[in-house]
Structure formats: C-alpha cells, structure tokens
Structure 1
Amino acid sequence: MDHLQSHRMEMLSIAVALVAIGAGCLDPESFKEFKLVKRVQLSHNVAKFTFALPTPTSILGLPIGQHMSCRGIDSLGEEVIKAYTPTTLDSDIGYFELVIKMYPQGRMSHHFRQLREGDYLAVKGPKGRFKYQPGQVRAFGMLAGGTGITPMFQVARAILENPDDKTNIHLVYANVTFEDILLKEEIDNLAASFPNRFKVYYVLNNLNQSLEGWEGGIGFVSKEMIQTHCPAPAPDIKILRCGPPPMNKAMAAHLNDLGYTTQMQFQF
C-alpha cells in the first residue's frame, strides 16, 4: 500500500509539473478528439468509457473538480454538447475515463450508446468555477445525486491520494434505487482505505426490495441527514452539491435553513 501510494504521489507530482508548463491535452478554445479504447458496461444503462491520450505519458490537464465539454450527435442527427467530469485524475497518465449513465431520451446519451471501441470523442476544456488547493478547508460535506457523484469522486480521490492533504470528507449520496448507485465499489474502497477521513452515507428514494442490513437513508435527503452526516457550519468547511436541479434546489434550502452561509456552499 505504501509503495502504491508513493508511486501515485510521484505520478501526481509529475502531472502537476506538466500542467504547470502547459503540457495537458485539453484545449479550452477548440475541440480535440480522443480514441475510445475500452468500453465496459456496468449496468443496463451505465458504462465506463476509457479514452487514450496521445502518448502513454500524456496527461489530460484537468484541474481537480473541473469538467469538460463533450460533443456528439443526437438521434435526430443534430449536434449536442454536454459537460462531464472524468473519474480519473492527472495522476492517471495516458488515458482518462468517463462513467456515463445513458437516459432513454437523453440527447448525449444517444451518442454514448452508439460509441464503440475505436471511435473518437470530441472534447474541449477545462471548464468550471471550482478551484481547489490542498488543505484549503478542514472538511468537505458532499451532497450528490445520481451522476452528480463524478465531480465529488474526483475531488475525494485527489484529496485522499495526497498524503500532504489532511482534509476530511463526508459524502451523502442519493439515488432512486440501489442499482442506480454509481462507482459504489470505488467509493466503498475509499471508505475502507481511509476510515478516519472519508465517510459515506447512501440514501435511496425507493427501497423497492429487501436489502438485508441496509444502514443508509430512505426517501429524500433531509435536513436531519445533513446535520448528522455533514460537518457543522464553520468558516473552515465547505458543502459541495451536485445533482438533478430539484435536488440542488432542495439542498440549497436545507443548507440555508441550517445556517450554512453562501461562502460555505458550492454547486457544481
């Protein structure tokens, strides 16, 4: 474990240095194409897409917590552009990965459903208002819904894999059903590897089956859940939220009622 963490930190240091001299593969002004080298179906409507960078030592050049625009063609043959956050970091050299949930009527979902290994995806970036520096807060509370987990996972990985960053993380992750939980194995591995610094609380809207021993929440994320599982309001904490618009609106109201100032909140 120590050797693996040391190797990751070495790769992260190299990646940071390369970003500093502008060696990332992204262009904020124009789309660049990346080849799909592996597609793994994770469930009936979720797949992991692995894209190759130009060389085995290339890095994407995406700052922590930021996203990129992906361009595709919808079912009517019209161009569509949508923002996504990779689940990989710049310490993952030579490739990047997207975990995509494909909705029946989603315009960009159609494009990803059609993508096959060997095809190319047009990408532009980085984009986003989130700026992260290690140790800038004592703790993060994270309120994620559905595919809103991807920026949270990226930030959590970056923090936990940096031995110099002591930030604690409290994740509340809501989904409709158990099957909808994205990256569950990876999230649980982080919780097991960093039990004192990373806590996760799952919430299911519909517990439509008997999940023996289920210890998570049921229904919608409530003020009480936030109080119990997120750091209390303080100048040195921040609550991040990312989910469907109705959830974002409800979480903002809950946070305001609980005394979290606008400076303590950030919405992806």
Structure 2
Amino acid sequence: MHFKYARFARKVVFTSVGHQFQRIISQKKDSLSRDKTVKTFMRLNGGKIIAAVTIGGSTLAVLINLYTNFTQYDIISPDKFIPLTINKITPVNHNTSIFRLKFPKPLKENLPITSCFHIKDDSIQIVREYTPISPTDERNYIEFLIKIYNDGYLSRYIHSLKEGNIVEVRGPILTFPYTPNMKTHIGMICGGTGITPMYQLIKHILCNPDDKTKIYMIYANVTKQDILLLRELDQLSQGHPDQLKIFYTLDQPPNNELWTQGVGYVSQNAIKNLIPGPQEDVLILVCGPEGGDKARDLSQGPVGGILKNLGYKQHQVFKF
C-alpha cells in the first residue's frame, strides 16, 4: 500500500478527579493512505498516549511514547491550577512557616528534580513560584517554606490562611533537569528563601549512594535567626562531610557568640576560596544576584556579576 505523510495537531481531552484538562500534542507525521478516508482518535493508557489511525476500515494502532506531567501525577497539573488543602502549618521563625498541602490521593510518580510549583491568589490574580522542600518521593503531600515580606502580596496572603483552607497550585514545573554525576562538583550560591531549590537538590544527591557529586554551598542571610533550614542543613553536612560543605555569611553576625564564618554579602574572595573554579566538571547554581539576572524572556541570559569576573561561562552557570 502506498502511503504519504500528513501532519495533524492532536488534542487530548480527559477527566481526572472531577477536573477536565486539555493538552495539545505537537504535530506528528503519520503514515496514511493516499486515497482512503482517514479517521483518528487518541486515548490515554497508563500515562502514555495511544494513537489509533483508521485507514479504510483497518486499524493501525501506534504507541507514541509521549509523557505529560499531568498524566504522570494524575491529580496535579503543570497546566491548570488545582485546589489543595492546607493540612499543617509549622512556624520556622518570626517571618517564615512551612505549609503542608495534602493531596486527595497519593501521586502516581515522584516529583522531578528540580521542580517548582506556582501558587496564586485568585482575588488579586498574583502568581508566585515556590520550590517544595518535602522529599521528592513523598506522594501524599508537598511542603513549601514561605517567608512573609512586607511588600509581598502573595506571601502575606498565604500567611493569612489557616489549616483547612484551600490553596490554588499548579505544577510540578521542571526548573533544572538534574541527572546523577552530571558534574563532579556543584557550587551553590543563594540567600534567604533561595535555599529551597538548593535544599531539594542536595537531599536528592545525598540520598543516592551512587551519586558521588561534591557540593559546595555559600548561603547568605541577614542574621543567624534568618538562616532557614539551618538544623536540617547542618545534619546533612555532618552526615556527609566529604560530599557537602556549607559556608554561611551574615550581614549582622551574632554579638553574644563566636561567629567563625562569613560577614557581609557573598564576596568574590569567598566564591574563589570556597567553590571550585571555572572548569568543565564544575557547575554553579545561583538563586540570587551573584551570577547576573536572567534575560527578559526568563531565559538564562549571559553570566554577570561576580561569576563573570571569576571567568565562569554561560554553560557553567544555572540561575534559578
């Protein structure tokens, strides 16, 4: 039988936990009959998209290995906001709390590394990005470390909520596709709540005995009380002293105790002395201004700031 190629844009429509979602499947070339009536349909099977092409009464079933985030996780979607219930609120310090959001049922898959979620306030239509700090293999809930800012409309809104209230969440959204041992050394530079994507990745690396990546992190804050996840980070570094090294720097070091680490902003000397230099087996992750801003279209953009001065190239730096 003689075939020709034709392009079709596919739309998949399905329902899950009372919500209907649509995803547009990119154009695919199918082998179709030149002179026969063609009918097509698609359905989902275990997270995979099954395409069936009917050619003049006979059916050619084609398994297309396309995976969507939504079909993997079943009850959350990177394309649509889903209401989740605040199950638990745990204060961390004077302006930061951990918010646990409960899933109606366990997820089908682990969350990707590294990934974030969007949270919104419907009343003012503001959306912000937050990285979960809960284990990525936890399928019953997600936890977000959220700091309240005086000029942060969404953070103030979230902190006004109580246990049992609903939060609109969209995700997971892959931010940095990590694979074990992709680099020999990973440097991390962050401040404040910028610790969340770093913490997610650190835990993921250290829980995998086959991942030998060495991590060097500089974490900047105003005071010692502002160091988020301090106990957890210290436990990780003490449990993996040869694989994780953390250096804290404070704008206002404590007066009533000996402070042996950094004072002030992240400096060029600190990066030069504490993080491996610009080599091909080194990757620097930044959640802060030290590597320069992203481009206007939110792409990575050129390396700037201190990292540029130290000679790091664009492919050696990733900005969250």
User: Identity of aligned pairs, percent?
Assistant: 35
1-side partners of 2:108 and 2:312: how far apart?
36
- TM-aligned CA distance change 1:140 to 1:25, over 3 Å: farther
For 2:132, what is the secondary structure of its paired residue?
A: coil
Alignment of 1:79-90 (within 5 A): 79-90=125-136
For 1:22, what is the secondary structure of its paired residue?
A: helix
- Greater fraction strand: 2
For 1:131, what is the secondary structure of its paired residue?
A: coil
- TM-aligned CA distance change 1:84 to 1:203, over 3 Å: same
Kept in 1, the 8 Å contact 2:133–2:145? The answer is yes
The Cα of 1:128 is off from its aligned counterpart by 4.3
Kept in 1, the 8 Å contact 2:290–2:307? The answer is no
2-side partners of 1:68 and 1:23: how far apart?
13
Amino acid at match of 1:167: T
Q: Deviations over 1:32-58 (max 9, x none)?
A: 111111101111110011111122x43
Amino acid at match of 2:119: C
Within the candidate set 69, 74, 79, 1:29 is matched to 79
Look up the match of 2:55. none
Scaled by the length of structure 2, the TM-score of the pair is 0.71
Kept in 2, the 8 Å contact 1:175–1:181? The answer is yes
Alignment of 1:52-91 (within 5 A): 52-55=102-105, 57-58=106-107, 61-73=110-122, 77-91=123-137
Look up the match of 1:219. 264
Amino acid at match of 1:65: T
- Greater fraction helix: 1
For 1:118, what is the secondary structure of its paired residue?
A: coil
Scaled by the length of structure 1, the TM-score of the pair is 0.85
Amino acid at match of 1:242: C
Q: How many residues align?
A: 243
Any stretches of 5+ residues in structure 1 without a counterpart? Answer: 1-18
The Cα of 1:30 is off from its aligned counterpart by 0.5
Look up the match of 2:276. 231
Highest Rg: 1 or 2? Answer: 2
- TM-aligned CA distance change 1:70 to 1:61, over 3 Å: farther
Any stretches of 5+ residues in structure 2 without a counterpart? Answer: 1-68, 294-302
Kept in 1, the 8 Å contact 2:112–2:174? The answer is no
Within the candidate set 215, 222, 225, 1:179 is matched to 225
Kept in 1, the 8 Å contact 2:72–2:108? The answer is no
The Cα of 1:23 is off from its aligned counterpart by 3.2
The Cα of 1:68 is off from its aligned counterpart by 1.2
Look up the match of 1:50. 100
Kept in 2, the 8 Å contact 1:168–1:197? The answer is yes
2-side partners of 1:252 and 1:126: how far apart?
29
Kept in 2, the 8 Å contact 1:64–1:89? The answer is no
| Cα RMSD for the two superposed structures | 2.0
Within the candidate set 250, 253, 258, 2:305 is matched to 253
2-side partners of 1:211 and 1:195: how far apart?
27
The Cα of 1:167 is off from its aligned counterpart by 0.6
The Cα of 1:130 is off from its aligned counterpart by 1.2
- TM-aligned CA distance change 1:162 to 1:172, over 3 Å: same
- TM-aligned CA distance change 1:138 to 1:242, over 3 Å: same
Kept in 2, the 8 Å contact 1:26–1:61? The answer is no
The Cα of 1:257 is off from its aligned counterpart by 1.2
1-side partners of 2:133 and 2:280: how far apart?
29
Alignment of 1:146-165 (within 5 A): 146-165=192-211
1-side partners of 2:218 and 2:281: how far apart?
19
Look up the match of 2:154. 108
Amino acid at match of 1:216: Q
Look up the match of 1:194. 240
The Cα of 1:118 is off from its aligned counterpart by 0.6
